[in-house]
């Protein structure tokens, strides 16, 4: 770990100015990814601007039924906030199924979106990795790729996006609010996560010095019966092999609205838009779910060790939609 300088910001504007002043500076929030990667020399900022004192921790209940969650609210606090559990249970569930209790006390909502991939080749500075060292190659393509992605991959990178929270947020069309050297902007969550393509080192559209200040979740009444399911190698404290965030609205036995997003299988939190197209207007029954799952996974590019994820994802989608239907998707 190279030497670092440090300062503690107490207002958003000076935090942004201080990071913007030097391309080698970075914000420090919960630190659960950043300190780890600093120690591994995977990221090497020369200065950290501690933003933990910024007033960005509130969970605001919007009058129309939405929520606005401060970027520095901790995962554990958001998970147990009654308004989150009532309005968007899939968010509370995704949070509680992520990391460990200690890490959830530390990790912030904004930091969760910016966490880095857990690809072991990305973390190992002796391995080629196009994300860490552009142009060096991808060791995962022919390597130990059991945990890697089957959707949204490229020949440059197949690292799985690790966040559970982000899967729920993508299903809910959340909005990421930022402030930066060029002012404020709002970014649709699906545009916030970039596919690796030929530029796997670009993971999000933020400028240097641009800070996430809040995450807004627009009102979605039928999300009150939404849920998140996570399939993994051990029952706790493990990343997803497949996860699903879903909400259904059923009228007269027919699906009228659906949200479906996948985690653990793609290079970004994956909104299953093809499956959603098939499901809307279809009878809420197993045959529809199976067809939707198959068509969503038709584009999958499995590798040597992760081919099992195709069937696992299909089965988990079907199970999630059956569960959502039993929970009474009628609005």
Q: Is residue 41 involved in binding another protein (CB under 8 A)?
A: no
Q: Is residue 331 involved in binding another protein (CB under 8 A)?
A: no
Among 26, 39, 117, 241, binds another protein (CB under 8 A): 39
Cβ–Cβ < 8 Å for 209, 220: no
Among 61, 68, 83, 105, binds another protein (CB under 8 A): 105
Cα–Cα distance list, 83 to 68, 75, 170 (Å): 11, 14, 19
Please give the structure tokens belonging to residue 315: 């089965």
Q: Is residue 85 involved in binding another protein (CB under 8 A)?
A: no
Cβ–Cβ < 8 Å for 204, 217: no
Please give the structure tokens belonging to residue 328: 């009474």
Least distance (Å) from another protein to the CB of residue 6? 4
Which residue stretches of 186-307 are H helix? 189-192, 273-279, 286-297
Among 103, 280, 290, 307, binds another protein (CB under 8 A): 103
Q: Is residue 9 involved in binding another protein (CB under 8 A)?
A: yes
Cβ–Cβ < 8 Å for 100, 256: no
Cα–Cα distance list, 28 to 51, 75, 112, 220 (Å): 6, 16, 12, 32
Beta strands in 190-297 (DSSP E): 211-217, 227-231, 242-251, 254-263, 270-271
Nearer to another protein, 44 or 58 (CB): 44
DSSP label at residue 132? T
Angle between helices 308-326 and 286-297 in degrees, nearest 10: 150
Q: Is residue 99 involved in binding another protein (CB under 8 A)?
A: yes
Nearer to another protein, 84 or 150 (CB): 84
Cβ–Cβ < 8 Å for 29, 51: yes
Q: Is residue 324 involved in binding another protein (CB under 8 A)?
A: no
Nearer to another protein, 237 or 308 (CB): 237
Q: Per-residue x/- marks for another protein, 152-191, CB under 8 A? A: ---------------------------xxxxx--------
Cβ–Cβ < 8 Å for 14, 34: no
d(CA 125, CA 284): 49
Q: How many CB atoms lie within 10 A of CB 314?
A: 20
Q: Per-residue x/- marks for another protein, 221-250, CB under 8 A? A: --------------xxx-------------
- Region 127-156 residues binding another protein, contact defined as CB under 8 A: none
Least distance (Å) from another protein to the CB of residue 206? 14
Q: Is residue 102 involved in binding another protein (CB under 8 A)?
A: yes
Which region, judged by CB under 8 A, interacts with another protein, from 49-57, 149-157, 258-266, 267-275?
49-57
Footprint on this chain of another protein (rule: CB under 8 A): 1, 3-9, 11, 13-18, 20-21, 28, 31-32, 35-36, 38-40, 46-50, 52, 76, 99-103, 105-106, 179-183, 235-237
């Amino acid at each position: 770990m190279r030497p670092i300088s440090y300062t503690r910001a107490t207002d958003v504007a000076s935090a942004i100015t201080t990071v913007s002043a030097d391309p080698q500076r970075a914000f420090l929030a919960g630190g659960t990814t950043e300190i780890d990667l600093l120690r591994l020399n995977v990221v090497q900022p020369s200065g950290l601007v501690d933003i933990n004192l910024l007033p960005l921790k509130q969970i605001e209940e919007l009058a129309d039924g939405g929520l606005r969650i401060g970027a520095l609210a901790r995962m554990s606090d958001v998970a147990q906030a009654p308004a989150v559990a009532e309005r968007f249970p899939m968010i509370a569930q995704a949070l509680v199924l992520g990391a460990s209790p200690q890490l959830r006390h530390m990790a912030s909502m904004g930091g969760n979106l910016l966490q880095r991939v857990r690809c072991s080749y990305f973390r190992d500075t002796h391995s080629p990795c196009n994300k860490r060292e552009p142009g060096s190659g991808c060791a995962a393509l022919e390597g130990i790729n059991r945990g890697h992605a089957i959707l949204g991959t490229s020949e440059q990178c197949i690292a799985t996006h690790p966040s559970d929270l982000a899967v729920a947020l993508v299903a809910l069309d959340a909005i990421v609010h930022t402030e930066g050297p060029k002012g404020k902007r709002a970014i649709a969550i699906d545009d916030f996560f970039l596919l690796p393509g030929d530029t796997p080192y670009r993971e999000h559209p933020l400028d240097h010095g641009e800070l996430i200040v809040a995450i807004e979740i627009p009102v979605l009444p039928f999300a009150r019966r939404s849920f998140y399911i996570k399939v993994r190698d051990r029952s706790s404290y493990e990343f997803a092999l497949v996860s699903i965030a879903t909400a259904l609205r059923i009228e007269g036995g027919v699906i009228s609205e659906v949200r479906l997003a996948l985690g653990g299988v793609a290079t970004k939190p994956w909104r299953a838009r093809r499956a959603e197209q098939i499901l809307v207007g279809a009878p809420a029954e197993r045959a529809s779910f199976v067809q939707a799952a198959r068509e969503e996974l038709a584009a999958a590019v499995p590798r040597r060790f992760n081919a099992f994820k195709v069937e696992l994802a299909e089965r988990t989608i079907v199970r999630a939609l059956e569960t959502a239907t039993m929970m009474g998707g009628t609005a």
